[in-house]
Structure 1
Amino acid sequence: MRQKVILDCDPGHDDAINIMLACASPELELMAVTTTYGNVSLERTTYNARVIREMIGHDFPICAGAELPLMRNRLSAESCHGASGLDGPDLPKPVRDVEPMHAVNFIIESVFRYPHQIKILPTGPLTNLALAMRLEPKIIPLIQEVVLMGGSVDVGNWSPAAEYNILCDPHAARVVFESAAPVTMFGLNITHQAIASPARVDAFRKLGTRNGEFAAVLLEFFREHHEQRYGWDGGALHDPMTAAYLIKPELFEFRDMHVAVETQEGSSYGRTNCDYWRVLEAQKRSKVGVKVDADGFFALLTERIARFP
């Protein structure tokens, strides 16, 4: 039975790869891409989602969502993703527009229509999902799983303590982690194990297809920020771990931990405090990724992107 998924994202180079992976995988039924501000503005991330849909030739609905965080000022990651949020490749002009329904309403209606069947994959700020949970709390026990990219067991990337997606809206993240919904978390501690090295990027180019080249050019641009920041020879492929986990869970190792999001402004603002040693026995736990088979992960990505023209 195909798994029903909603990709809630802020495209984004690694978001683009995740959308491609979901569309190329018969294990998944992509209900929609819902967009949020994040890497760049909502207007731009929504446009980018339309561009990706046009590029890969799939016909999934797109619903635009939150423009701003719940309480803080909006951040931007143009230094990583470029002014467009998807700098690097030559992109087609999208034709089909977005759906009239707001992303938050789409999430609510989808969960009610398919109780215990929807898996939500947020790979940007968690504002859309938090708003859905606050507006209609009855959906929370009906969500099959939340599989998110955000946070870290150890250090941050946008501050010493915080990962970017969580720092964009710590209050929304706190709503999601404290909810009764099952949460699976892919943080920097695991996504930084999967680096798109030149050899791995070249494997996409060697497919000899338009979309293989698209993936390669995306990742070559994405490498620049990671070289400057970390001295790596490629970018970390954060977001595609969420879809890859649903397709091939044996690639990953997890540990159950209580995750508390710091919402007090200060040096630890936005930090995901992960109870690695299970000191807080009575607290709700999330399933937190700790290890990935990086070669197997990239082999899966290459095999699925090969299915595109």
Structure 2
Amino acid sequence: MKKIIFDTDPGIDDAMALLLAHACSDIELVGITTTFGNASIENTTRNALYLKQKFGMSAEIAKGVNIPLDQVRTEPATLVHGENGLGDIKIPKIIDTQISPLIAHDYLIETIKNQPGEITLVAVGRLTNLAMAIKKAPEIGKLVKEVIIMGGAFGHNGHTGNLTPFAEANVYGDPMAADIVINADWPVTLVGLDVTQQTFMSNAYLEKLRVSSAKYGQFIYDITRFYAKFYNDDLGLDGFYVHDSSAIMYLVAPQIFTTKQGRIRVITDGPAKGHTLFKSSDRVFSIDEWAARPKQTIAINVDPQVFNQRYFDVICSDETD
């Protein structure tokens, strides 16, 4: 059983990833920590509480901070996810679900220390919560099983950015946090645009999912109508790329991904802000800001057909812990 804490800013694709984790029989969803990005921290936390209540999740939920480490706020991605973050579906005004008394980064520290070597952190939003946790308690690096991040872009398969020409949105939203988390003393895998934009779910696929999964299908179909319209209006696509679910899929089916290792720095300012720079060479240059950094893993390819079939099979199994 893989125990995870899911750090997220729900978010339509975040919700799809969360439901994949919940439905997967070999994942124990221990906790959900919320961050800002796809919507405000208030909306993302409410959405997480709503998803927990609606689908009967046992995971604790801890609310994160509402501003990146560099204090530079970006507007919520309402154009992509709707005003409420879940495609503007109707959400109850009152959600009868408790929230942890701990702020997200303290919740991460406490939970990791209480379950040493057992917790995998899966982060699919800004990395502010993880950065604050590892800065406050660097000793948790040795206690975390692994860190899987949906973020970054390294130029494989022609993918270099989606918010700017050279930056992926999660990293751009808090580049200082990303640089801290990627270079901390714990094993990190970045599942970025190199693979998430290789995987595509068509509207026909979503329609098939709708009628095949009694538990999740209609909900996924409903929230993705807004998302699919954005992709159609923006890129002319009949469906959308599969970002956040790719991080969960890497956890449960790493064999369908191709990876490589190297050292990574994140550009934190200027026109290339949010750019993830990967150094695969072991050569040490006379000026080298990468040389002393840990080697981490990036995903560079994926089998999209197997991915979509696996997602479909898990969601339609309707199995929960």
Per-residue deviation, residues 261-302 of structure 1 (Å, max 9, x unmatched): 001x21101111122566669552211111111121121222
Per-residue deviation, residues 75-99 of structure 1 (Å, max 9, x unmatched): 1211111111111434445221312
- Distance, in Å, in 1 between the alignment partners of 2:243 and 2:54 is 21
2:151 match:
150
Q: Where do residues 74-153 of structure 1 align in structure 2 (5 Å cutoff)?
A: 74-75=73-74, 76-92=76-92, 94-153=95-154
1:266 match:
270
2:227 match:
222
2:250 match:
245
Match of 1:287, as an amino acid? T
2:6 match:
7
1:304 match:
314
Match of 1:194, as an amino acid? T
* 1:284 partnered with 2:285: no
Secondary structure at 1:26 match in 2: coil
- Distance, in Å, in 1 between the alignment partners of 2:198 and 2:149 is 17
2:211 match:
206
Q: Where do residues 164-243 of structure 1 align in structure 2 (5 Å cutoff)?
A: 164-207=169-212, 209-243=214-248
Q: Where do residues 60-75 of structure 1 align in structure 2 (5 Å cutoff)?
A: 60-75=59-74
Could you tell me how far 1:179 is from its partner in structure 2?
0.9
Secondary structure at 2:212 match in 1: coil
- Distance, in Å, in 2 between the alignment partners of 1:222 and 1:234 is 8
Match of 1:202, as an amino acid? E
CA 1:235/1:277 → structure 2, altered by over 3 Å: closer, same or farther? farther
Per-residue deviation, residues 14-33 of structure 1 (Å, max 9, x unmatched): 11011111111121111111
- Distance, in Å, in 1 between the alignment partners of 2:283 and 2:161 is 22
- Distance, in Å, in 2 between the alignment partners of 1:285 and 1:197 is 36
Could you tell me how far 1:210 is from its partner in structure 2?
4.8
Could you tell me how far 1:218 is from its partner in structure 2?
2.1
- Distance, in Å, in 1 between the alignment partners of 2:69 and 2:203 is 39
- Supply the RMSD in Å over aligned alpha carbons: 1.8
TM-score, structure 1 length as denominator?
0.94
* 1:27 partnered with 2:32: no
Alignment identity in percent?
33
Q: Is the 8 A contact 2:213 2:317 kept in 1?
A: no
Q: Is the 8 A contact 2:189 2:296 kept in 1?
A: yes
1:55 match:
54
Aligned with residue 275 of structure 1, among 262, 269, 279: 279
CA 1:38/1:279 → structure 2, altered by over 3 Å: closer, same or farther? farther
- Distance, in Å, in 2 between the alignment partners of 1:240 and 1:17 is 7
Match of 1:294, as an amino acid? P
- Distance, in Å, in 2 between the alignment partners of 1:197 and 1:277 is 38
Unpaired segments ≥5 residues, structure 1:
none
Which contiguous aligned blocks of 4+ residues in structure 1 show a shift greater than 4 angstroms? 276-283
Secondary structure at 1:7 match in 2: strand
CA 1:179/1:119 → structure 2, altered by over 3 Å: closer, same or farther? same
Could you tell me how far 1:3 is from its partner in structure 2?
1.2
Per-residue deviation, residues 95-115 of structure 1 (Å, max 9, x unmatched): 213121111111101111111
Q: Is the 8 A contact 1:196 1:219 kept in 2?
A: no
Unpaired segments ≥5 residues, structure 2:
285-289
2:287 match:
none
CA 1:208/1:172 → structure 2, altered by over 3 Å: closer, same or farther? closer
- Distance, in Å, in 2 between the alignment partners of 1:191 and 1:108 is 29
Q: Is the 8 A contact 2:87 2:224 kept in 1?
A: no
Q: Is the 8 A contact 2:213 2:315 kept in 1?
A: no
Match of 1:295, as an amino acid? Q
TM-score, structure 2 length as denominator?
0.90
Could you tell me how far 1:221 is from its partner in structure 2?
1.9
- Distance, in Å, in 2 between the alignment partners of 1:127 and 1:108 is 14
Could you tell me how far 1:247 is from its partner in structure 2?
1.4
